[in-house]
């Protein structure tokens, strides 16, 4: 794995992400500043981490999505490169047009910071090959604007093409309004692009990877990526 | 030349902030308000250019950055 973590002003989860990538792969990722115009040579995974890029001014992720480095990320994605966006990173990928839809204010207007349950809807993409389809994982979330919204056609297309990868559910994997804490359309927590190489998700798998700190359900996402990239190399 | 770009949520998009403001106005006793939708206004000064050129430029600004057309509409007004 030769990962690059994109760093924007106001991002604050980039070190958690870098720590997890190093823990799982043994290699520290490159930290790439937003003003750069190219990714390091040989990059095989781009991660857009969480935080509050540009203080969430204008709209969450809107200004970061127009940063110089995003053209390079777009070009990387268009050739099949793997891109993972977490939390603010998901918002940025949506604003950048790499994923459809938008993340709106949580339905009850509260910033929600706690562990949540996600049902993994498919395991045939590099991001989820470490899980079984239907498996429920517990990972932390911390956001005020994670309420996924898209027009009805887009949602129908996402569902029809199996592009909803993670959904907010009960610990048993049941969808119900009380488990869809931010009001997201169809309890969508994470989606993938048409080609399965760009994934955005609101919760933070990078924070549940070490037994000393609690559950390790997030670890398989990164282990799966490492296995996939190791096989491709 | 001064101009305004007004960005509003499309109809059908849930606006929890607007709802909260609506509730607050009701609790303040401001009568007769049926509903509130929150939007944004950008006040922009233009250095120079003809009206048509300025309008095109502001539309470009709105499309590229000021509005997310997935959920928002925008309106450009040029004030002389």
Q: pLDDT category, B16, cuts 50, 70, 90?
A: confident
CB A90 within 8 A of CB A202: yes
Taking the Cβ of residue A58 and every Cβ of chain B, the question of whether any pair is shorter than 8 Å is answered with: yes
- Options A14, A121, A145, A206, the catalytic residue: A206
Is A206 known to be catalytic? yes
Q: How many domains does chain B have?
A: 1
Rounded CA separation A191/A198 (Å): 8
* Intervals of chain A under pLDDT 70: 233
Examine the pLDDT at B24 and tell me if it is beyond 90: yes
Q: Which residues of B touch A180 (CB under 8 A)?
A: none
Which distant-in-sequence residues (6+ apart) come within 8 Å of A211 by Cβ?
Answer: none
Q: Which residues of A touch B14 (CB under 8 A)?
A: 104, 107, 147, 149, 183
Is A159 known to be catalytic? no
Examine the pLDDT at B80 and tell me if it is beyond 80: no
What is the pairing mode between strands A112-120 and A164-168?
Answer: antiparallel
CATH architecture entry for A3-232: 3-Layer(aba) Sandwich (3.40)
Is A210 known to be catalytic? no
The pLDDT assigned to A90 comes to 98
Which one of A70, A104, A185 makes the best mutation probe of the B interface by having the most chain B beta carbons within 10 Å? A104
User: CA of A153: which chain B residue's CA is closest?
Assistant: B70
What is the pairing mode between strands A82-86 and B2-9?
Answer: unpaired
CB-count burial class (<10 Å; 0-12, 13-18, 19+) for A156: exposed
- Domain ranges within chain A, ordered by starting residue: 3-232
The pLDDT assigned to B47 comes to 86
CB-side exposure of A7: number of CA atoms within 13 Å?
A: 13
Under 8 Å CB pairs connecting chains A and B tally to: 35
Q: Which domain holds residue B43?
A: 2-79
The pLDDT assigned to B14 comes to 83
Q: pLDDT category, B79, cuts 50, 70, 90?
A: confident
Tokens of A181: 């804490």
The pLDDT assigned to A232 comes to 72
The pLDDT assigned to A231 comes to 84
CATH number of the domain that residue B37 is part of:
3.30.1280.10
Read out DSSP for chain A?
--EEEEE-TTB--HHHHHHHHHHHHSSPPEEEETT-SSPPTT--EEEE--B-GGGG-SSTTTTGGGSTHHHHHHHHHHTT-EEEEETHHHHHHHHTTSSSSEEE--TT---EEEEEEEEE----STTTTTS-TT-EEEEEEEES--EEE--HHHHHHHHHTT-EEEEE--TTS---GGG-TT--GGGEEEEE-TTS-EEEESS-GGGS--GGGS--TTHHHHHHHHHHHHHH-
Give the alpha-carbon dihedral of B14, B15, B16, B17, to 10 degrees.
170
Taking residue A206's Cβ as centre, other Cβ atoms within 10 Å add up to 29
The Cα of B52 is separated from the nearest Cα of chain A by a number of Å equal to 26
């Amino acid at each position: 794995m030769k990962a690059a973590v994109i760093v924007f002003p106001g991002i604050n989860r980039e070190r958690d992400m870098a720590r997890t990538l190093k823990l799982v792969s043994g290699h520290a990722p490159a930290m790439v500043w937003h003003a750069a115009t190219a990714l390091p040579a040989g990059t095989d995974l781009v991660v857009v981490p969480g935080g509050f890029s540009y203080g969430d001014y204008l709209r969450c992720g809107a200004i970061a999505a127009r940063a110089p480095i995003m053209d390079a990320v777009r070009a990387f994605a268009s050739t099949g490169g793997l891109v993972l966006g977490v939390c603010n990173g998901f918002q940025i990928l949506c604003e950048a047009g790499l994923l459809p839809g938008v993340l709106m204010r949580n339905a009850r207007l509260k910033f929600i910071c706690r562990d949540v349950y996600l049902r993994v809807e498919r395991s045939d993409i590099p991001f989820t090959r470490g899980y079984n389809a239907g498996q429920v994982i517990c990972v932390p979330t911390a956001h005020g604007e994670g309420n996924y919204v898209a027009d009805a056609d887009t949602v129908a297309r996402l569902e029809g093409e199996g592009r909803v990868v993670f959904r907010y559910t009960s610990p048993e994997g049941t969808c119900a309004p009380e488990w869809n804490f931010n009001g997201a359309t169809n309890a969508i927590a994470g989606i993938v692009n048409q080609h399965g190489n760009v994934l955005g998700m609101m919760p933070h798998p990078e924070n549940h990877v070490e037994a000393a700190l609690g559950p390790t359900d997030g670890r398989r996402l990164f282990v799966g990526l490492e296995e996939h990239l190791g096989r491709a190399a | 030349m001064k101009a305004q770009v007004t960005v509003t949520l499309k109809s059908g998009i849930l606006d929890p902030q607007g709802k909260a403001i609506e509730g607050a106005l009701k609790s303040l006793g401001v009568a007769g308000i049926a509903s509130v939708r929150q939007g944004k206004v950008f006040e922009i000064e233009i250095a120079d250019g003809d009206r048509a050129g300025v309008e095109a430029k502001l539309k470009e600004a709105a499309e590229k950055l000021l509005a997310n057309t997935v959920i928002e509409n925008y309106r450009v007004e040029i004030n002389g």
